Amino acid sequence: MEEVTEGDYRKYSERNHAVNLFGKEFHLTKPIIKRLNPENFKPEITTLFSFQERGNWATHYLNAAYRGNFAPQIPRNMILRYSREGDNVLDSMCGSGTTLIECKLLNRNGIGVDLNKKAVLLTRNRLDFECDSKATSKTYVGNTKNLDRVADSSMDLIITHPPYANIIEYGKHVEGDLSALNVEQFVAEMKGVATELYRVLKLNQYCTILMGDTRKKKHFVPMAFGVMQAFLEVGFLLKEDIIKAQWNCTATPYWQKRSIQDNFFLIMHEHLFVFRKPF
């Protein structure tokens, strides 16, 4: 793992005003904050999460263009339910930093890791705002299967959202990119991910992971359940399986006609698994 500090980000952004990720340009100018926290937020209490409007507080509104990143309501709910102020929260595939933004707002120490250095730099940009928080934010370039800078049993909570197999390509030409794999390879690699996350999590604490499914030759492929099984095999216990409804998917208009012509239903849900590391 290679740490990318705030100072590293400052030096980079002085020379480069943007990063290019999956064909899109993301500017690195200091974010403008309209409001720090969500209005009328209520914690979820059922196993069905449905957020028709993506959260746009703090710097989350800037992340709407980052394909595949999850709604900030998800890490906010997980952080409030499964951690305390001052705890260490890890996102081992941090993307554009949604989890770390919520950690900063909620006074948790955020640790973000991503294979793609440009994504890590973008995360540092999204953390470039002031709020009443004593939390620290550390970011690293690294592979979630080898978190060599994270000690055994040191994390109080893990929240992550892997890139789904062969659906959205995140790390083109980056060694270890999970999004470049087929479903079978992806599930096999996720067992190595589960093993490392189990190592760094404290006993009796929680690891949450958002996973979706896919189709192959018009048939449903339960990729999420393959990943769930991989986590169970390394020792995790399944605390919750939360169904998260999907809204405003980019590809939905394309698939609407095909779903009728080819006789299949559009997949409009994901699984938010909550695992516990037992005593």
Give the separation between CA 90 and CA 93, rounded to whole angstroms. Answer: 9
- Tell me the CATH architecture of domain 2-276: 3-Layer(aba) Sandwich (3.40)
- Confidence band, pLDDT 50/70/90 cuts, at residue 201: very high
Tokens of residue 103, six digits? 């950690």
Segment 132-163, tens digit of pLDDT: 999 999 999 999 999 999 999 999 999 999 98
Whether pLDDT at 116 is above 70: yes
DSSP label of 17:
S
For residues 192-209, one letter each, b for 16 or more C-beta atoms within 10 angstroms of the residue's C-beta and e for the rest, the string is ebbebbbbbbeeebbbbb
Average pLDDT over residues 262-278: 93
Lowest mean pLDDT among 45-54, 137-146, 170-179: 170-179
Whether pLDDT at 168 is above 90: no
First to last CA, the chain: 28
The DSSP secondary structure of 121-170, one letter per residue, reads HHHHHHT----S----EEEEE--TT--TTS-TT-EEEEEE-PPPTTTS--
Segment 75-112, tens digit of pLDDT: 999 999 999 999 999 999 999 999 999 999 999 999 99
Q: What is the pLDDT of residue 12?
A: 97
Tokens of residue 52, six digits? 């028709």
Average pLDDT of the chain is: 92
Q: What is the pLDDT of residue 178?
A: 79
User: What ranges make up the beta strands (E) of 131-268?
Assistant: 137-141, 155-160, 201-211, 214-216, 219-221, 237-245
Q: What percent of the chain has pLDDT over 90?
A: 76
Whether pLDDT at 39 is above 80: yes
H helix or E strand, kind and range, residue 48: strand 48-49
Which residue's structure tokens are 């699984």? Answer: 271
Q: What is the pLDDT of residue 256?
A: 74
